[in-house]
A and B are shown apart, each in its own frame.
Chain A
Amino acid sequence: MKTYENTGSKDTRSGFGAGLTELGKTNPNVVALCADLTGSLKMDEFKANHPERFFQVGIAEANMIGLAAGMTIGGKIPFTGTFANFSTGRVYDQIRQSVAYSGKNVKICASHAGITLGEDGATHQILEDLGLMKMLPGMTVINTCDFNQTKAATKAIAAHNGPVYLRFGRPKVANFTPENQTFEIGKAVHLQEGTDVSIIATGHLVWEALEAAKRLHEKGITTDVINIHTIKPLDEAAIINSAKKTGCIVTAEEHNFLGGLGESVARTLAQHHPTPQEFVATQDTFGESGTPAELMEKYGLNAKSIVEKAEKVIARK
């Protein structure tokens, strides 16, 4: 099996910041808006380099989304930045009417997604955002797995014409994808080849999936591992092909099992190639305070949990 090396753990939000900094230099139409979380979103460098293109809107997310929608008229490409909770649930109708239905070229960039936000607790840990966003017609939904991929995705969405939701997180996680990768929206990344079980993962769970594949390999089980960075549009062919090869699927995500990647995969398979599937995801619950590692363990969002679900689904074949 292929070996993936962690070249040094970093937070995915810093990947966003690095991508935005590059965009500032290469694309004069890119503007950035932030709702009082400039440091948390790693937007400081863009702000310092291009003060005229940085808009501090204060703690007023609804206005931020509306401003961004309006700024597209005349050719700007607005990137909005705040926590995932305030990027989606708080402003759902603003996104629905002023961005999605109006077809505006706004990039909604959301940090601190999921339970790994940690100690701040459930008020800030949104586990429903992927579902909210993927239900909006025309919305592209991306959830990246590490620093390098988040940086590449940030640059790629500027070149894509249409509304995008880009989801990333707070904690430092393994950085293992190529430094100067080409990010292709809607294209799955095949990380491991195997025939016994498929693990289809997104975001922070991708590294955990690779770790799970190693442990399964030690037990004589070979694993197909696919990184789905784009939840919508979903690379259905990659999922169907893997299901045909292995005959069983585990999906893994830092999100509620209602509305997330797992449901999109299940719908695809139900329609094209019915396959036994198990879900590594939160089980229709809110989160709580704790360290990211403690929370991932308690809510079953790690390599250990993926291995358990893989063995369970193999038995169902």
Chain B
Amino acid sequence: MSSTQQLQDFVTQVRRDILRQVHAVNSGHPGGSLGCAEFFSVLFQEVLNASTDFDMDGKEEDLFFLSNGHISPVYYSVLARSGYFPVQELNTFRKLDSRLQGHPTTHEGLPGVRIASGSLGQGMSVAIGAALTKKLNGDQHLVYSLHGDGELQEGQNWEAIMYAGSHGVDNLIATVDYNKKQIDGATDDVLPLGSLRKKFEAFDWDVIDVKEGNNLEAIRNAFKEAKAKTGNKKPIVILMHTEMGNGVDFMMNTHAWHGKAPNDEQLESALAQNPETLGDY
């Protein structure tokens, strides 16, 4: 994508898609989805070297795994608007007989999805496994993944982080959506994460901090820096400081919209803050 304005328009349309998907079925997770709209847009529009002619094995292309599967609305919107499946299909989100299940799955054959996620804490291992196979296959492409910060409370992550660090899985760029919120409140109140930088560094990872995780230029630069660090015997993690609910004033600065849909009035207000750019589905 050529200009920042074009990408910003893409992000705004993705925000509308997120809000309209969850509103239509009165369920889903808008908060984390809105907070990651910039990340997904930069990744799929500018970073991933991948074909929209989807093949599960993904040989000779970059791969992406979403571990915190509840932010499926942003994933689906960006996949559709990047050409993986018709944008109109966003209409089927969470409905009977849909490929757009509440949480992403391979089970219904949705192009772009390579693993089911939703039960938290499993995606790091899967991403590392795919990165190991890329190495075995002599495939120079990279593996990207996204994880919630609250999700790091799951112990399996640290088994995986220990493995990847000690084995120098350096073709992996994991990103943590560091919004410091989870269902029950602030991560600091639920189960404090401490210093994620120190934790990852202690496991021999390269750590990149992005203080403005909802700033397109900051995310672009983080990916550039991360790609430059690959191949150095260390896995890479981007700690992406985001704002849950970003782009909708009443959804920000609270954990309340983690898993709650807006009503009609709230939707109207939220959409007014994000005027249509690329056309609603």
Which residue numbers of A lie inside 8 Å of B, CB to CB? 31, 52-53, 55, 57-58, 60, 62-76, 78, 93-94, 96-98, 101-104
Q: Is the CB of A102 within 8 A of B116?
A: yes
Inter-subunit contact A98/B125 (CB<8 Å): yes
The answer to whether B176 has its CB under 8 Å from any CB of chain A is: no
Given contacts A66-B156, A67-B129, A70-B127, contact A98 B57 (CB under 8 A): no
Nearest CB on A from B60, distance (A): 10
B155 CB within 8 Å of chain A: yes
CB <8 Å contact, A101 and B107: yes
| A73 in contact with B58 (CB, 8 Å) | yes
In the complex, what residues of B have CB within 8 A of residue A104's CB?
115
Specify which chain B residues have a CB less than 8 angstroms from the CB of A71 in the assembled complex: 129-130, 132-133
Which one of A68, A70, A93 contacts B119 once the chains associate, using CB atoms below 8 Å? Answer: A93
Closest to B123 in A: A66
**Known A-B contacts A63-B160, A101-B107, A101-B116; A31 and B126 likewise in contact (beta carbons under 8 Å):** no
> Are the CB atoms of A74 and B59 closer together than 8 Å?
yes
Contacts of B162 in A (CB 8 A): 58, 60
B163 near A97: Cβ-Cβ < 8 Å: no
List, sorted by A's number, 22 A–B pairs whose CB atoms are closer than 8 Å: A58-B159, A58-B162, A60-B163, A62-B155, A63-B160, A64-B125, A65-B125, A66-B126, A66-B128, A67-B132, A70-B125, A70-B130, A73-B57, A73-B129, A74-B57, A74-B59, A76-B136, A94-B122, A101-B105, A102-B107, A102-B115, A103-B107
Q: Is B137's beta carbon under 8 Å from chain A? A: yes
Bound-state CA distance A216–B114 (Å) is 54
Cβ-defined contact, A62 with B59, below 8 A: no
Instruction: Mark out the residues of chain B between 127 and 168 whose CB falls within 8 Å of any chain A CB in the assembled complex.
Output: 127-134, 136-137, 139, 155-156, 159-160, 162-163
Which residues on the B side are within 8 Å of A67 (C-beta)?
Answer: 125-126, 128-129, 132, 160, 163
Q: Which of A57, A64, A70, A97 contacts B116 (CB 8 A)?
A: A97
Which partner residue on chain B sits nearest A55 by CB separation?
B132
Bound Cα distance A68, B119 (Å): 17
Of B56, B122, B134, most buried by chain A (CB within 10 Å of CB) is: B122
CA distance A98 to B67 in the complex (A): 11
Q: Say whether B240 faces chain A, with CB atoms less than 8 Å apart.
A: no
Q: How far is the CA of A31 from the CA of B129 in the complex (A)?
A: 11
A98: chain B residues within 8 A (beta carbon): 115-116, 122, 125-126
B254 in the interface (beta carbon within 8 A): no
In this complex, the member of B127, B129, B136, B162 whose beta carbon has the largest number of chain A beta carbons within 10 angstroms is: B129
- Chain A residues, Cβ within 8 Å of B128: 63, 66-67, 70
Interface: B230 (CB within 8 A): no
- State whether A70 touches B56 (Cβ < 8 A): no
Residues from chain B with Cβ under 8 Å of A94 in the complex = 122, 125, 156
Chain A residue nearest to B105 in the complex (CB): A101
Q: With A66-B156, A102-B116, A103-B107 given, is the CB distance from A73 to B136 under 8 Å?
A: no
Q: Interface readout for B18-62 with A: 1 if CB under 8 Å, 0 if not? A: 000000000000000000000000000000000000001111000
Q: Which residue on A lies nearest to B145, using beta carbons?
A: A70
Interface centre among B63, B119, B139, B156 (most CB of A within 10 A): B156
